[in-house]
Amino acid sequence: MTSLHDHTAFELHQMLQRGEVTPVELAEHYLARIERLNPEVGAFAAVTPDAAIERARRVTAEVPKTAPLWGLPLADKDLHLRAGVPARFGSRAFTDFVPDASDELVQAVDTAGAVSLGKSQAPEFGLPSYTEGVGVPPTRNPWNLSLGAGGSSGGAAAAVASGMLPFAPGSDGGGSIRIPAASCGLVGVKPSRGRVSAGSGLTGLAGLGVSGPLARTVADAALLLDGLIAPSGYPAAHRFAVRAPGDDGPYLGAAMRHEGRFQLGVMTDSPWDESYDIVIDPEARSALDVAIESLEALGHGLEAMAPEPEPGYPEAFRTIWQAGAATIPVDGEREALLEPLTRWLLARGRALPARQLAEALAWLTGFEERIIRRFAAYDAVLTPALALTPRPVGWYDADDGERNFAQQVQFTPFTSFVNVAGLPAITVPVSETDGGVPMGVQLIGRPGGEATLFAIAAQLEGRVRRSRRHPELW
């Protein structure tokens, strides 16, 4: 018998529109799933059942059904503020913080008609690519509970992959949507810089962090991205987005039509290669081969891209990562509440000379221009999503900042440079390991090229036919 959580978000949207299920019934169903599964998975930092049911009733009574996310459940990442709901930022330093006002992204999903069920788990201030904080249970991969869910949107990914949510918003400053999406067999979208007004990247250091969707299907991801953009409207969003001519949303249509034949580059080098020992696991290479074979069978043109070393990238990106941590609002004795990695980053960031930061920002601006020129001949560029299989819980060295940084780079060398370049990217699961854990690939688009990415990703998804497979705990 089919249960509500067996349906995709798009199917649930249609059921809501037809009156086959109500927002309250949907919220109650997912809250029951969360109560049963979250103790094992650790996807939620907080669950707000009373507020969720009240919100579902208000949506039913007060929000037009034409709102793009009307009645659909999701969760706010614990880095985002919702008035009256604790916001820990994954940190013991903010255990008791309850904001008085909601931030712009939370306001956007509310305006779009969504129903928040709580806060999805995130690592401390979203800095690591894994979600295993001190004093809280680790967020586990629903496909294999001994593995991590990735980060920093690890809670969102684990909740969606386990059927505790139909989809969820996340944020991505160096791969924080794509890494957990790839780890948990999901579609994850990092939009172009400026595409989502409520999470544009334009206000952050080096313009790295943007907001986007994690979902089980390409169409679901497009539906949520449209919902994140809709409150400001596409014309408003386009005032800030660097976009390809005519490549406008909404994006659900592009995902549903999945039309077109495109020229794709295939890239297996990364800007970390000169400084770190980057090895692509056989499982990651196999996923890339599956994608290449599938895309060629669909009629796309593919070409291997020659490596172009960027030896200055590691030091420049490290500088920005550390400088970003310098602004964490924790001082004095409260610093002892921070995790070792965060304390290391904070100390390094606050000790940076202004000249070094300025030089790093200037270098990364030149890098952005070079990457866009390098990719200009292609409609999209295909890479592995991850270089390694999802990492075991406890694999990362929590006490040695340098080693921890190297581990993160070796796990996911293909994500951060996309943030630096401000380009859109999407991850798609295409295969699995011998142990049944999904593996995926990443497609990187031209500036503003989301519609093309959705079209290619939907074609690839249809070719490999994995979208209805679920973890055993489902």
| Domain range annotation of the chain | 4-464
Q: pLDDT digit string (tens) for 332-344? A: 999 999 999 999 9
CB-facing half-sphere around the CA of 120: CA atoms within 13 A? 32
Q: What is the pLDDT of residues 207-223, one digit of tens each?
A: 999 999 999 999 999 99
Q: Strand, coil or helix: what is 452? A: helix
∠ Cα 307 172 466 (to 5°) = 75
Q: What CATH architecture is 4-464?
A: Alpha-Beta Complex (3.90)
Q: At residue 173, what is the residue type?
A: G
Query: Is 190 among the residues known to form the active site?
Result: no
- This prediction has a pTM of 0.97
Out of 116, 120, 129, 152, the active site residue is 152
pLDDT tens per residue across span 412-434: 999 999 999 999 999 999 999 99
Question: Positive or negative CA dihedral for 467, 418, 171, 22?
Answer: negative
User: What is the per-residue pLDDT for 247?
Assistant: 53
- Angstrom CA distances, 10 to 132, 215, 220, 454, stand at 31, 10, 6, 15
- Cα(80)–Cα(330) distance, rounded to whole angstroms? 17
- The percentage of the chain sitting over the pLDDT mark of 70, rounded to a whole number, equals 96
Which pLDDT does position 230 carry in this prediction? 81
Q: Which among 102, 116, 171, 176 is annotated as catalytic? A: 176
77, 190, 197, 232: the catalytic one is 77
65 as an active site residue: the answer is: no
> Residue 116 is inside which H or E element, if any?
strand 115-120
Under 8 Å between Cβ of 90 and 121? yes
Report which secondary-structure segment, H or E, holds 456.
helix 450-464
3-state secondary structure of 19: coil
The helix/strand/coil state of 313 is: helix
Percentage, residues of the chain above pLDDT 90: 93
pLDDT digits (tens, 9 = 90+) for 43-95: 999 999 999 999 999 999 999 999 999 999 999 999 999 999 999 999 999 99
187 closest CA partner among 416, 9, 16, 5? 9
Residues 344-367: tens digit of each pLDDT: 999 999 999 999 999 999 999 999
pLDDT value at 467 more than 70: no
For the chain, the average pLDDT equals 95
Q: In angstroms, rounded to a whole number, what is the distance separating the alpha carbons of residues 201 and 294? A: 33
Per the structure block, which two tokens stand in for 386?
């991850």
Contact 9, 139 (CB under 8 A): no
First-to-final CA distance of the chain = 13
CA 51 to chain centre: 25
Q: What is the dihedral of CA 126, 130, 131, 134, to 10 degrees?
A: -90
The predicted structure's pLDDT at residue 246: 46
Helices (H) and strands (E) in the chain, counts: 16, 13
Question: With 50 as the cut, is the pLDDT of residue 123 above it?
Answer: yes
- Tell me how far apart the alpha carbons of residues 411 and 264 are, in angstroms, rounded to a whole number: 24
Catalytic annotation present for 77: yes
